[in-house]
Amino acid sequence: MITALIAIGVLAFLLTRPAPLQVSVATVAPAADPGTSCGATVDVVGTITTNGRPGAITYQWVRSDGQVSGELTQSVADGATSTQVHLLWTFSGSGRYPASATLRVLRPDPVDAVGHFTYSCT
């Protein structure tokens, strides 16, 4: 009898607890076209779509010039179905550089997204 009550209690807990935070998709794009400004800082925006549950997302940025950020964490509030993260990438000098930035979501669900833009200074 006691075992059955414990089993029912555990089952009720498992069925009524909210689902954990899940990441479904991510996108990456510059906040604005860098244009032809020399010495520009590009705000690269990653938008991470979630299931609306609260929690923490662990992610990192990988740049096409080989730079990799450390692991970063973004908190997500209950009810928020998306959150944005930013990479500020500074360019200098003349020339043209086709760039890409990869947002790599590490936890809770691995997802990668890549954004492309071109730095051009003549």
**Over the chain, what is the mean pLDDT?**
89
The pLDDT, as a whole number, for residue 14 is 44
Mean pLDDT within 63-72: 97
Cα–Cα distance between 66 and 75 in angstroms, integer?
27
Mean pLDDT within 76-99: 95
Nearest CA to 54 out of 14, 104, 19, 15 is that of 19
pLDDT per position as a tens digit, 3-21: 755 656 555 554 455 689 9
Dihedral angle of Cα 71, 75, 81, 85, to the nearest 10 degrees:
-50
CB 7: neighbour CB atoms within 10 A?
10
Q: Which domains does the chain have, with CATH numbers?
A: 20-121 (2.60.40.10)
| Global model pTM greater than 0.85 | no
